[in-house]
Structure 1
Amino acid sequence: MPYRTSEDLPPAVRHHLPPHAMDIYRQAFNHAFASHPDDVRQEEIAHRTAWAAVKRLYVKDGDEWVPK
């Protein structure tokens, strides 16, 4: 289920990531989701890929995600 906007993201993402990180997450998720159409783990792969993309540019500092 691709996400059209950041408001469509799961609450765990929306309530914890800054706007730019949400954009990264959404774009990475949508790309990975489209890249694995026949995989039963399609959504899991997409979420893992999206978090990995965020972690390339952001790091968690206490309760906040901040740019590296």
Structure 2
Amino acid sequence: MPYIDNSDLPASVLASLPDHAQDIYRQAFNHAFDAHKDDPRQEEVSHRIAWAAVKRSYVKIGGHWVAR
């Protein structure tokens, strides 16, 4: 299901990503969710795409995500 607000994101995303990265994740997930509506793995694919979008702008150093 699409996420209306960042507070609706999974707890693991909220706990690990900074605010801007959460925005990227939410927007990428929602776009992918809509684009893959006929795929039986729609939610799984959307989460993978969202993480890939975050990784283009952020890198995990130690236990923290920081902007590239």
The list of structure 1 runs, each at least 4 consecutive aligned residues, that deviate by more than 4 angstroms after superposition, is none
Cα RMSD for the two superposed structures: 0.3
Partner of 1:32: 32
Q: 2:42 matched to 1:42? A: yes
**CA–CA separation in structure 2 for the residues paired with 1:37 and 1:19:** 27
For structure 1, which runs of at least 5 residues remain unmatched after alignment? none
For structure 2, which runs of at least 5 residues remain unmatched after alignment? none
TM-score of the aligned structures, taking structure 1 as reference length: 0.99
Residue-pair matches, total: 68
Specify the SS of the correspondent of 1:38. Answer: coil
Percent of aligned positions that are identical: 65
Q: What is the one-letter code of the residue matched to 1:24?
A: I
Partner of 1:7: 7
Partner of 1:67: 67
Partner of 1:21: 21
**CA–CA separation in structure 1 for the residues paired with 2:58 and 2:29:** 16
TM-score of the aligned structures, taking structure 2 as reference length: 0.99
Q: What's the CA shift string for 1:19-64, capped at 9, x where partnerless?
A: 0000000000000000011110000110000000000000001010
